[in-house]
Structure 1
Amino acid sequence: MDDFHTSQPIFVQIRQRLIEMILRGAVGEGDALPSVRQIAGELSVNPLTVTKAFEALVDIGIVEKRRGLGMFVKTGARGELLAHEREKFLTEDWPRIAAQIAALELDATTLLAKVPAKQGPKP
């Protein structure tokens, strides 16, 4: 799980993994996130790096720090994250992906044929 890539700082990658845990429902609203020490140990990173990832989640308002108890997912966080991540995808990722699709002269039929069955488009 400690397979980091060099294109982004490690704390950003950890933040993204935590976001994905919340979006997948692995950690529900009101639930505690794994501790800084637990994540740092599992990923073999400095605890300050993990703390920075948590602080980024606090800054966007989806996680709250409870003194002496740890970090908890706030009520409504999943919905806020979904909206935030969708907007980010559409404004940052999609234009690059769409340009690559056009450059490769791919069509929708070809692309949709490659989508795994359980992740296919919703009707």
Structure 2
Amino acid sequence: MEFRDKQAIYLQIAEYVSEQVLLGRWNAGDRIPSVRELAAELEVNPNTVMRTYEFLSQQGVIANKRGIGYFPADDATDKIRSFRREQFLANDLPIFFKNLTLLGIDLREIEQRYEQFAAMQSTPQTPVQP
């Protein structure tokens, strides 16, 4: 994982964990990696991962089953989407709109490119043969 300078590492790890849940890689009822396992995988201090897990527990995204490990909450996907949606609308969208205005990009062009992107996401990708 490549860490960015402008955000605390534990929050970047929280985004990573949340993304795994949203992608369906870690589902409710599935144990997620332990603090030590994830710390080793991401090459960070276990205390940083512990801080991430405490943060996500406070948000109700994951739950600790004593002696067993951490698990995504039953409604983790909904909570993550809701939180990320609000963050996007409050922080990212104004910057996006500013860039559209500065660069003279029309919303119709954005719509066309989004449709192309969505079509690429829905079609299976075939590996490139050497």
TM-score range, shorter chain: 0.7 to 0.9
Larger displacement relative to structure 2 (101-110 or 60-69): 101-110
Where does structure 1 lack aligned partners over 5 or more consecutive residues?
Answer: none
Contact 1:11/1:50, CA 8 A, preserved across alignment: yes
Aligned positions, number = 119
Tell me the CA shift for residue 119 of structure 1: 4.4
Partner in structure 1 of residue 64 of structure 2? 65
- RMSD of Structure 2 on Structure 1 (CA): 1.6
User: TM-score, with normalisation over the residues of structure 1?
Assistant: 0.88
Q: Give the distance between the partners of 2:94 and 2:54, measured in 1 at CA.
A: 29
Contact 1:63/1:71, CA 8 A, preserved across alignment: yes
Tell me the CA shift for residue 89 of structure 1: 0.9
Structure (1 or 2) with the larger CA radius of gyration: 2
Q: Deviations over 1:24-73 (max 9, x none)?
A: 11111222111111111111110000111111100111111111111111
The 4+ residue runs of structure 1 with deviation greater than 4 A are none
Instruction: Quickly say closer, same or farther: Cα 1:119–1:93, change in 2 above 3 A.
Output: farther
Partner in structure 2 of residue 25 of structure 1? 24
Q: Give the distance between the partners of 1:44 and 1:51, measured in 2 at CA.
A: 14
Contact 1:29/1:78, CA 8 A, preserved across alignment: no
Partner in structure 2 of residue 7 of structure 1? 6
